[in-house]
Amino acid sequence: MNLDTAREALKKYFGYDSFRPMQADIIRKVYEGCDSLVLMPTGGGKSICYQIPAVTMPGAAIVVSPLISLMKDQVEGLRANGIRAAFLNSSLEESAQRKVEEEALAGRLDLLYVSPEKLVSQNFLPLLRSIRPNLFAIDEAHCISSWGHDFRPEYTQLRFLKKEFPETPIIALTATADKLTRRDIIAQLELRQPGLFIASFDRPNLSLEVRPGQRRLEQIAAFIKKRPGQPGIIYCLSRKSTEDLAEKLLERGISAAHYHAGMEAGERTAVQEDFINDRTEVICATVAFGMGIDKSNVRWVIHYNLPKNIESYYQEIGRCGRDGANADTLLFYSFNDVMVLQDILQKNESDMLDIKMAKLERMRQYAEAVGCRRRILLSYFGEDVKQDCGNCDICKNPPQAFDGTVIAQKALSAIHRLRQQAGMAMLIDVLRGSGKKEILDRGYQNIKTYGAGRDIPILEWQHYFHQLLNLGYIEIAHDQHGAVQLTPASRRVLFEGEKVQLVRFATIKERQEAEKARAKEAAKPQRVRDELFEKLRQLRIQLARERGVPPYIIFNDATLEEMAATRPMTDEEMKNISGVGERKLHLYGSYFIDAIIEFTGPASRRGKASTYQVTHDMYQRGLSVEEIAGKRQVNITTIYSHLAILYEQGIDIALEEMVSPAVVSQVLKSLRYLQEPYLLKDIYEYLDEQVPYHQIRLALAYGKRQGMVAG
């Protein structure tokens, strides 16, 4: 077995051109008969690492997976790619089990998925012996360790595999395993000098954003409206809030449902199925949701409340964008959430309380960070990152620092004068000179800092207090009802002239304005793509309905995006799209090609598109425009317009040989004085009939492809 065979299989079955980092190395290990431990983030591409060996090596691979629904999904996905896969678990009827077993024995399977219960059961061993597996893949391998979460007792019996099948390589895969868990996996499975593959946990396609938790409902509704037709998950802290939120979204015409562990099993399954099949767009859920689903086209995740640690947060946002296409995450943060979580921890979790509190504190620091968020996340997971990511809210809208010494002095002095007994809300009231009865009753109107911060709004004060907390200038005494207290550092500010740098408060409004401006900037080149993408997405839903499979089984979002951007119109071109393997090309290719042709050619059908194709073929063979026109018996302008359209579709046409930069700039400038839609005739006249039509057409094509002219 060599890697060329592996690469061919990757293209043939999955339609991918190359392996991701590490995949090839892992596969090579399997071919060499060695064991491996693979740590990759969700969506990192773990499955390929055993699926490719399974389809290229003689015999069948056994995949152990603890989640029944996921097993079904995977098998369905594999079959859609023309791979011979099946599963065995308790959800199957006796007769169906028998059938799968027969297939396995007859050597008609490349992959057999089994639940751990099934694998370790006594009556399975004889079957396993006669199949003589070529590979064991242990998915969610962290379940073997009582150190990690999701401990599964059956997993600990898996050590019999090495004893029974000492020659068969084992590959253990997981997305979460700290050092202790890793060691446990290796020991329990008795892996022999395993290759250790730890991929970066970076998910560059996920944007990261944190916003203050005010008017969350409005913000969420606006967020969703901006993303029509894009499935997403909103994580809430309590069961009740999932229900409330879903209802409020429904009232606003958003297709939403709630999900939590308190619902009946049947109800939960129905909600999940609707989501998987793109019938429900938004799920408001507790963290119980998402574990067992493999939906790759979730486009966004919102945290309505602060998660209790960074591990959970990262795992939850990791449920979007698994197909590699861009996806957005948004975390709402309020100090109140922190208090609530602290309370919950203190009430319920007596063991390792300190650690849990410290983890919550890290989460809070993340939410309040004023540096690149991805760097914070990755450094938390022990990765050394040297560059800002450019895809988080801080990178996109860097906060401005200013000399906040005076503000800090006012705040600290207020704390001092209230004898370090007051909570944050009270302090802000005093600073703002509030006339609340509570304040006046206590005589706080008479202290020196009363009203000293009148000019700063409440929200802004909160923001500064949080910064002072992060900077270590104040602390909060949780055991004294959240009284804000001074630290040694605060004395340096009050008495020794230490300067304090604070970050300017960007109001929600300012942030939204900034985002709007960015969206506008990005909108032009994307507009056409979005329309076609939407069309292809609808087609995918329709095909999925007819076939009774989830839409992402047909093609995933990243594949549709690439189709929309490059507009393949022939089988040959379609094959080049990442995610289009032989079987899917055969099954669905023509549907999507037709849709693209219909969208692209003005009122055109296949005939028209092949007309472009004919021109393109001749052009590629090196014929001049005149020669093509002559052969095809059409006028030259028509051929130029074909070439312009092909160029717009991203096809390699040497436009610069046909139109000069001067003309291009002349034409594009003229658009400023004309109205959309731009008619060739208007431009022609505007340019005093000096520039021939075909040159104008070519210049426009250039403008469109550069995103300077809307499609």
CA-CA distance, 429 to 451, in Å (whole number)?
8
CA-CA distance, 422 to 426, in Å (whole number)?
6
CB 39 within 8 A of CB 32: no
Which CB sits closer to ligand ADP, 209 or 557?
A: 557
| Contacted entry of ligand ADP, Zn ion, none for residue 320, CB cut-off 5 to 8 Å set by kind | none
CA-CA distance, 593 to 560, in Å (whole number)?
12
**Least separation, in Å, of the C-beta of 81 and ligand ADP?**
9
Segment near ligand ADP (CB under 6 A); pick from 200-208, 215-223, 316-324, 503-511: 316-324
CA-CA distance, 6 to 8, in Å (whole number)?
5
Site string (276-315) toward ligand ADP, x via CB under 6 A: --------------------x-------------------
**Least separation, in Å, of the C-beta of 582 and Zn ion?**
40
**Least separation, in Å, of the C-beta of 570 and ligand ADP?**
22
Which CB sits closer to ligand ADP, 292 or 423?
A: 292
Q: How far is CA 559 from the centre of its chain?
A: 15
Q: Which of 3, 5, 12, 20 binds ligand ADP (CB under 6 A)?
A: 20
Judged by CB under 6 A, does residue 372 bind ligand ADP? no
Query: Residue 665: which region, alpha, beta or left (left: phi > 0; alpha: psi -120 to 50)?
Result: alpha
| Contacted entry of ligand ADP, Zn ion, none for residue 389, CB cut-off 5 to 8 Å set by kind | Zn ion
Give how many residues touch Zn ion by CB under 5 A.
6
CA-CA distance, 372 to 402, in Å (whole number)?
18
**Least separation, in Å, of the C-beta of 180 and Zn ion?**
30
Which CB sits closer to ligand ADP, 23 or 413?
A: 23
Q: Indicate the Cα dihedral angle 56, 60, 65, 69, nearest 10°.
A: 90
**Least separation, in Å, of the C-beta of 558 and ligand ADP?**
7
Segment near ligand ADP (CB under 6 A); pick from 41-49, 422-430, 476-484, 531-539: 41-49
Query: What angle separates helix 424-431 from helix 405-417, to the nearest 10 degrees?
Result: 110
Which CB sits closer to Zn ion, 374 or 705?
A: 374
Judged by CB under 6 A, does residue 71 bind ligand ADP? no
Q: State how far the alpha carbon of 49 is from the alpha carbons of 81, 169, 339, 453, in Å.
A: 16, 13, 43, 60
Buried (b) or exposed (e) across 381-410, using 16+ Cβ within 10 A?
Answer: eeeeeeeebebbbbbbeebeeeebeebbbb
CB 566 within 8 A of CB 650: yes
Judged by CB under 6 A, does residue 38 bind ligand ADP? no
Closest by alpha carbon to 221, among 249, 245, 187? 249
Q: Which of 81, 219, 329, 578 binds ligand ADP (CB under 6 A)?
A: 578
Buried (b) or exposed (e) across 269-301, using 16+ Cβ within 10 A?
Answer: eebbeebbbbebbbbbbbbbbbeebbbbbbbbb
Segment near Zn ion (CB under 5 A); pick from 83-91, 367-375, 469-477, 610-618: 367-375
Strand partners, 401: 503
Site string (256-285) toward Zn ion, x via CB under 5 A: ------------------------------
Which CB sits closer to ligand ADP, 137 or 428?
A: 137
CA-CA distance, 8 to 59, in Å (whole number)?
18
CA-CA distance, 318 to 206, in Å (whole number)?
8
Closest by alpha carbon to 392, among 439, 336, 330, 306? 330
Q: Which of 6, 27, 45, 308 binds ligand ADP (CB under 6 A)?
A: 45
Residue-by-residue DSSP string for 599-633: HHSTT--HHHHHHHHHHHHHHHTT--HHHHHHHHT
**Least separation, in Å, of the C-beta of 387 and Zn ion?**
9
Judged by CB under 5 A, does residue 143 bind Zn ion? no
For 475, list phi and psi in degrees, rounded to 5: -135, 165
Q: Which of 9, 36, 39, 46 binds ligand ADP (CB under 6 A)?
A: 46
Query: Scanning residues 371 to 410, which ones bind Zn ion (CB under 5 A)?
Result: 372, 374, 388-389, 392, 395
Segment near ligand ADP (CB under 6 A); pick from 12-20, 109-117, 585-593, 646-654: 12-20
Site string (538-577) toward ligand ADP, x via CB under 6 A: ------------------x---------------------
Which CB sits closer to ligand ADP, 377 or 431?
A: 377
Q: Indicate the Cα dihedral angle 290, 293, 296, 300, nearest 10°.
A: -20
**Least separation, in Å, of the C-beta of 91 and ligand ADP?**
21
Give how many residues touch ligand ADP by CB under 6 A.
18
Segment near ligand ADP (CB under 6 A); pick from 115-123, 303-311, 322-330, 379-387: 322-330
Sign of the Cα pseudo-torsion (185, 189, 194, 195, in order): negative
| Contacted entry of ligand ADP, Zn ion, none for residue 188, CB cut-off 5 to 8 Å set by kind | none
CA-CA distance, 47 to 65, in Å (whole number)?
11
Q: Which of 110, 243, 278, 323 binds ligand ADP (CB under 6 A)?
A: 323
Q: Which of 26, 27, 47, 210 binds ligand ADP (CB under 6 A)?
A: 47
Residues near Zn ion, by CB under 5 A: 372, 374, 388-389, 392, 395
Residues near ligand ADP, by CB under 6 A: 16, 19-20, 23, 40, 42-48, 296, 322-324, 556, 578
